[in-house]
Amino acid sequence: GAGVSQSPSNKVTEKGKDVELRCDPISGHTALYWYRQRLGQGLEFLIYFQGNSAPDKSGLPSDRFSAERTGESVSTLTIQRTQQEDSAVYLCASSAIGPADLHFGNGTRLTVT
Amino acid sequence: KQEVTQIPAALSVPEGENLVLNCSFTDSAIYNLQWFRQDPGKGLTSLLLIQSSQREQTSGRLNASLDKSSGRSTLYIAASQPGDSATYLCAVNTGGFKTIFGAGTRLFVKA
């Protein structure tokens, strides 16, 4: 079926506002990953879901960041009280068999003004 | 802590040249290493996956090598084409669910 879908593709928000980023994984993929990519840098791991559970949230940069996944499907990454340093591309990936089989979405480009 | 470094950060070559992209990692205890391609505004596409027990993998004009003991991998692209222009990222997995990515090499192939 379709690949990993992320929305919105672009988001411009004012400093201090909350934003929600959405990821629709490939159907049947039990694992879901969120990464952040700052300009000119590699991907920074944020959080991993196995089913609806997140075994490791230590990659989340601060308590302003949270994520949830429901129905072993859609995941939402929420950033509260956005700061300029949150500006980046947020990438979602899903996998059926583990981290060697990552399928990435096109990302959400977040700009905080 | 595993760190992945890619050199050069950017590379511009004329069409038809053979080229090598370099990746180094600090902890040799890896499970596998992958090379990805990222086009502007797009996600990552996996190119080659090398398991820790393997020395190299080939796909078409691409060949990736792995030397675990020295913490190095190379991606060789033969007879480069303008369509190869993209960012190439190296990533290592140490057996868990975290994959550690390098910052990438931006490749531009001139027609």
Residue B56: pLDDT band by 50, 70, 90 thresholds? Answer: very high
Cβ-defined contact of B43 to A93 (cutoff 8 Å): yes
- Does the pLDDT value for residue B1 go beyond 90? no
Nearest CB partner across the interface for A42, out of B41, B42, B103: B103
Q: Which residues of A touch B98 (CB under 8 A)?
A: 45, 48, 56, 59, 99
Q: Looking at the predicted structure, is the pLDDT value of residue B17 above 70?
A: yes
CB–CB contact B98 A31 (8 Å): no
CB pairs under 8 A between A and B: 59
Closest CA to A38 of B6, B103, B5, B40: B103
Mean pLDDT, contiguous 10-residue spans, chain A (113 residues): 90 98 95 92 90 88 95 94 97 86 93 97
Give the CA angle between residues B27, B34, A49 to the nearest 5°: 85
| Rounded Cα–Cα distance for residues B37 and B89 (Å) | 6
DSSP B42: S
> Per residue in B25-46, pLDDT tens?
999 999 999 999 999 888 899 9
The C-alpha atoms of residue B23 and residue A88 are separated, in whole angstroms, by 24
What average pLDDT does chain A have? 93
On average, the pLDDT of chain B sits at: 94
